[in-house]
Structure 1
Amino acid sequence: MLDATHENTLLIVEDDDALRDRLVRAMERRGYSVRVASSLSEAMSQADAGLPRYAIVDLRLQDGSGLSIIESLEKRDPNIRAIILTGYGNIPTAVAAARIGAIDYIAKPATADELVDALTRPRNEHAPAPTNPISPEDARKEHIAHVYHEMNENVTQTARSLDMHRRTLQRLLKRYRIV
């Protein structure tokens, strides 16, 4: 039998510090007792210290794949409700995630409410179709902002990473009000 404190334990595995911090705050406001990890090795240490009831795991981590974490958690306790959160979604990894026990596969950016819905949805119930999916322009803006923050707000590095001319990036950052 699970104790009351275990019922709301959540492990967030995300190597983007800013996103991880936002997720922690949002999930704590929703009543979860949150533990964090920024790498595969940290996540395994957290799991060794005590299995969570829920997990939100980034697909791509600096030291490996989030799929390894999902697989390890699933082997330890098939009742853990774990989802993959990724900015690099594709069909093969979504299928792989489902096969090893992930209950959902969610593309970034996602709201905390979407994550809670995915974590708490009954196993036999499917996710509803999106009512207002993100527009391509908003997806582009989110991606540029994410890469810009990942590159420590360095315009030159961000432009190189996005394979974009530096001046074009500066105009977009200004238009999107990112800087």
Structure 2
Amino acid sequence: MDAEPPNEQPPDRLLVIVEDDEAFARTLRRSFERRGYSVLTAAEPEALGVLLRDHSPHYAVVDLKLGQASGLVCVQALHAHDPAMLIVVLTGYASIATAVEAIKLGACHYLAKPSNTDDIEAAFRKAQGDMAGGDVAAPLDTRPTSIKTLEWERIHQTLAETGFNISETARRLGMHRRTLARKLEKRQVR
């Protein structure tokens, strides 16, 4: 957790990054600071709770998976703290189910890693209405979703439902625990 942000920045440029990967959090922080933001960081939901006692950020970037905790808990806390806050969720694995949950809980956008500061700022701008009504010219993916992608989305959805409990997820999916563990090793859930 970081101390008070520099006072020279306007309060509407205060951003909190909730990320347990220290190197990635440090990189994002530096990049946002170069763009004129004051940045606070937290690596877990409890640290975020402490930050929110003294600060009211206007922006937030939240990793979906924070160690054993879900970033969705942080999204919910941030939205409860300030419903107008612009919250972008980042994850190494994009799942339709978790994207929907993040939006329901108050996120304005959901981005798959690797996402950079440009991607995140574009998501903030879109949420603020710079692209009001969405982008109707956005290309539609005409390719059907692959079986592997559908399987991975189902695994991730079940993982989220079980609080990332591998044994319970395997049981619900009718899969041997070791088979599930091998699949998870191939595609890290972040």
Q: Could you say which TM-score interval applies, normalised by the shorter chain?
A: 0.5 to 0.7
Q: Which residue of 2 aligns with 1:73?
A: 78
Measured against aligned partners, the alpha-carbon deviations of 1:107-150 in whole angstroms (never above 9, x if no partner) come to 000121111111122254436748xxxxxxxxxxxxxxxxxxxx
Q: Does 1:126 align with 2:134?
A: yes
Contact 1:89–1:107 under 8 Å retained in 2: yes
Q: Note the aligned Cα RMSD (angstroms).
A: 2.6
Cα distance 1:63–1:46, how it changes in 2: closer, same or farther (>3 A)?
farther
Deviation digits for residues 65-97 of structure 1 (CA, Å, limit 9, x no counterpart): 111111111112111001101112211110001
Unmatched 5+ residue regions in structure 1? 131-160, 164-179
Residues 108 and 38 (structure 1 numbering): CA distance in 2 closer, same or farther, change over 3 Å? same
Q: Which has the higher contact order (CA 8 A, sep 6+)?
A: 2
Q: 2:116 aligned with 1:111, yes or no?
A: yes
What is the correspondence of 1:31-110 to structure 2 with a 5 Å cutoff? 31-110=36-115
* 1:117-156 alignment, distance < 5 Å: 117-121=122-126, 122-123=128-129, 124-126=132-134, 129=138
Asked whether the 8 Å contact 2:88–2:109 carries over to 1, the reply is yes
Q: Which runs of 5+ in 2 are unaligned?
A: 1-8, 140-183
Give secondary structure in 1 for the equivalent of 2:10. helix
CA contact (8 A) 1:84 1:102 kept: yes
State the TM-score, normalizing by the size of structure 2: 0.63
> How many positions carry a matched residue from both structures?
134
User: C-alpha distance in 1, partners of 2:41/2:108?
Assistant: 20
Query: Any conservation in 1 of the 2:86–2:107 contact (CA below 8 Å)?
Result: yes
Question: Partners in 2 of 1:114 and 1:44 — Cα distance?
Answer: 26
- Give yes or no for contact 1:39–1:63 (8 Å, CA) kept in 2: no
Taking every aligned residue pair, what percent have the same amino acid on both sides?
38
